[in-house]
């Protein structure tokens, strides 16, 4: 996702300071959620929702107690449970500290369905408000772990499941949600039932509903995937125009990465805390993304890239969220490079590099920072821009052909599954035949980047270039390209940097007019000259 504030301020990220802990979410040892069916009733008189969740669980071993997340009622907000059934019988459960603990009956059946009836007013997660045009609206806004405010669930990306939403609401509302629409029925009492079903497994962080007055249009079909726009009627033509680029972006990623996992690609103008939120198959974009000026192509490319990285191939641990955000950042650049050329890649990377330097001076930490526990704190320039730069360097290290083979192999292996950084590294080593341990250790687990002071001189047919690394905590190993300019022509020389300071001598017939470090933007470093 991209934060709303960031888009307003040149797409820069809000920064968070890490705290001393890590992703300690308590996982169910045996229970694996297979599917959720959420029956939700919405109304216009209050913000209270009525819910029934049908949760099918497969037990890996003998059935044992498992937990689900749900924020309990406290004063105004939160949920009350009225009943839980195991099959058709009352379930053995407790509800304490925002956790539902269910102890299954003692028979050996490995697959069980539990029904949880509940109601309440969600404080977060489901945003009940009015649109910028004053129309009442309901929008799911779960990232990172806010689904628990309105949906009983395993609210962590490690356990993904198929999703079905059955939304009953006053008939004047239009409804869009995760999945394919399979029913829309007008009921006798002025209510309307709308059902969406997504068979692919998704994490709760990226499931959503949108309920308000919408104008919707089929933009295109790409590889039989319907691409739609859902925007406010008051700005319908501007919205259809702004979101129409989604079909080109989708086609680029399918052609270059692999099959799309979800039933549709809906692009939704929404009331969201983010600039864009990559809900699986139903992306939310902030309300003012609609201008009619077609200025959100980069945002759209970022959120659609998430459908592959973060949604389908999902990080198994919050501290590895770069597998989502870093990938989306760089693949948005790759898409733009394919449309606008090499200079666009350099331009975007230059903006990102500036943010990386500014962030590091205030937050000297690595991309994979095990001191972080709050999922919101994993979002930073490190996990977005710096991680994107690491993919850029990996691409150059391995070469375009091998890089893309590795990307496609990684996605094929972890499509609709979960992965960690080591999994990605092993795939890239496998396809390249290259040991990448040092590369990943220094760029993922080590803070900072090379801070370089350099100089050159020419004498007796030799160009001497001295490169010194100024940072004290680590000596980085990396290739550094130098553009040697003579008579208006540039020749690129590559220096292998692996020492604190080193002088390289290059035979050359004439004295250069100038030298340029990294003219093609392949190495992350700060020039301290």
In a domain, 508, yes or no: yes
175 strand-pairing partners: 211
Other CB atoms closer than 10 Å to residue 185's CB: what's the count?
11
- The parent domain of residue 400 ranges over 317-444
**What pLDDT is attached to residue 409?**
98
**What pLDDT is attached to residue 3?**
67
Mean model confidence pLDDT for the chain: 95
**What pLDDT is attached to residue 451?**
98
Tens digits of residue pLDDT in 487-497: 999 999 999 99
Regarding whether 458 and 418 lie in a shared domain, the answer is: no
Other CB atoms closer than 10 Å to residue 433's CB: what's the count?
8
Regarding whether 329 and 244 lie in a shared domain, the answer is: no
Regarding whether 435 and 473 lie in a shared domain, the answer is: no
- DSSP 8-state class, residue 205: G
**What pLDDT is attached to residue 4?**
58
Q: How far apart are CA 114 and CA 84, in angstroms?
A: 7
In a domain, 406, yes or no: yes
- The low-confidence residues of the chain, meaning pLDDT below 50, are 5, 8-21
In a domain, 489, yes or no: yes
In a domain, 10, yes or no: no
**What pLDDT is attached to residue 108?**
80
In a domain, 194, yes or no: yes
Regarding whether 464 and 407 lie in a shared domain, the answer is: no
Q: How far apart are CA 518 and CA 200, in angstroms?
A: 43
**What pLDDT is attached to residue 529?**
76
Contact 359, 382 (CB under 8 A): yes
Regarding whether 140 and 274 lie in a shared domain, the answer is: yes
Contact 328, 310 (CB under 8 A): yes
Q: What's the total number of domains in the chain?
A: 3
**What pLDDT is attached to residue 62?**
87
Helix (H) or strand (E) holding 527: strand 526-527
Tens digits of residue pLDDT in 166-216: 999 999 999 999 999 999 999 999 999 999 999 999 999 999 999 999 999
Regarding whether 265 and 134 lie in a shared domain, the answer is: yes
Helix (H) or strand (E) holding 350: helix 342-362
Regarding whether 465 and 418 lie in a shared domain, the answer is: no
Q: How far apart are CA 419 and CA 405, in angstroms?
A: 18
Regarding whether 269 and 335 lie in a shared domain, the answer is: no
Regarding whether 336 and 294 lie in a shared domain, the answer is: no
Regarding whether 370 and 327 lie in a shared domain, the answer is: yes
CATH code of the domain in which 520 resides: 2.60.40.1840
Whole-model pTM? 0.95
Regarding whether 187 and 150 lie in a shared domain, the answer is: yes
CATH code of the domain in which 69 resides: 2.60.40.1730
In a domain, 25, yes or no: no
- Domain finish residue from 419, 444, 469: 444
- 94's CB contacts (< 8 A; 6+ apart) are 100, 101
Q: How far apart are CA 428 and CA 435, in angstroms?
A: 9
In a domain, 312, yes or no: no
Q: What is the 3-state secondary structure (H, E, C) of 60-92?
A: CCCCCCEEEECCECECCEEEEEEEEEECCEECE
177 strand-pairing partners: 209
Contact 116, 55 (CB under 8 A): yes
Residue 445, token pair as written in the block: 């687990």
In a domain, 9, yes or no: no
Regarding whether 51 and 112 lie in a shared domain, the answer is: yes
Tens digits of residue pLDDT in 117-170: 999 999 999 999 999 999 999 999 999 999 999 999 999 999 999 999 999 999
For β-strands 31-41 and 215-222, DSSP reports them as unpaired
- Domain finish residue from 444, 460, 493: 444
- Domain finish residue from 409, 444, 479: 444
């Amino acid at each position: 996702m991209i934060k709303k504030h960031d888009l307003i301020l040149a797409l820069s990220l809000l920064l968070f300071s890490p705290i001393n802990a890590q992703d300690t979410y308590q996982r169910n040892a045996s229970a694996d959620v297979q599917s959720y069916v959420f029956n939700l009733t919405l109304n216009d008189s209050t913000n209270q929702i009525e819910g029934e969740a049908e949760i099918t669980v497969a037990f890996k071993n003998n059935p044992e107690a498992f937990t689900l997340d749900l924020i309990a009622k406290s004063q105004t907000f939160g949920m009350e449970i009225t009943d839980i059934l195991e099959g058709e019988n009352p379930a053995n459960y407790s509800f304490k500290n925002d956790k539902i603990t269910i102890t299954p009956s003692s028979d050996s059946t490995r697959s069980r369905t539990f029904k949880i009836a509940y109601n309440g007013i969600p404080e977060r997660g489901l945003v009940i408000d009015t649109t910028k045009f004053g129309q009442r609206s309901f929008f799911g806004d779960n990232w990172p772990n806010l689904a628990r405010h309105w949906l009983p669930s395993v609210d962590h990306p490690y356990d993904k499941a198929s999703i079905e939403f059955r939304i009953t609401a006053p008939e004047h509302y239009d409804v869009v949600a995760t999945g394919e629409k399979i029913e829309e029925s007008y009921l006798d009492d002025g209510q309307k039932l709308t059902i969406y079903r997504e068979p692919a497994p998704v994490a709760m962080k990226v499931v959503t509903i949108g309920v308000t007055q919408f104008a919707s249009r089929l933009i295109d079909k790409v590889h039989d995937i319907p691409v739609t726009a859902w925007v406010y009627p008051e700005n319908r033509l501007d919205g259809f125009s702004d979101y129409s680029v989604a079909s080109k972006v989708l086609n680029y990623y399918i052609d270059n990465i692999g099959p799309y996992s979800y039933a549709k690609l809906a692009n939704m103008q929404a009331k969201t805390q983010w600039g864009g939120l990559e809900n699986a198959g139903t992306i939310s974009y902030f309300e003012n993304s609609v201008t009619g000026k077609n200025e959100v192509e980069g945002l759209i490319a970022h959120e659609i890239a998430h459908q592959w990285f973060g949604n389908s191939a999902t990080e198994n641990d919050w501290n590895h969220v770069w597998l989502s955000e870093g990938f989306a950042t760089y693949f948005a650049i790759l898409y733009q490079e394919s449309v606008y050329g090499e200079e666009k890649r350099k331009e975007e990377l230059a903006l990102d590099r500036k943010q990386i330097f500014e962030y590091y001076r205030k937050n000297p930490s690595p991309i994979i920072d095990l001191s972080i526990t709050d999922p919101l704190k994993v979002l930073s320039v490190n996990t977005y821009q710096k991680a994107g730069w690491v993919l850029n360097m990996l691409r150059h290290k391995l070469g375009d052909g091998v890089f893309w083979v590795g990307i496609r192999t990684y996605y094929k292996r972890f499509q609709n599954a979960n992965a960690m950084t080591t999994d990605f590294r092993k795939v890239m080593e496998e396809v390249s035949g290259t040991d990448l341990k040092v590369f990943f250790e220094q760029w993922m687990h080590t803070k900072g980047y090379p801070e370089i002071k350099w100089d050159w001189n020419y004498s007796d047919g030799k160009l001497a270039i001295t490169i010194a690394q100024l940072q004290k905590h680590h000596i980085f190993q990396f290739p550094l390209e130098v553009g040697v300019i003579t008579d208006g022509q540039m020749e690129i020389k590559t220096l292998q940097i692996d020492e604190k300071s080193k002088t390289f001598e290059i035979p050359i017939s004439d004295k250069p007019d100038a030298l340029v470090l990294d003219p093609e933007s392949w190495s992350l470093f700060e020039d301290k000259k």
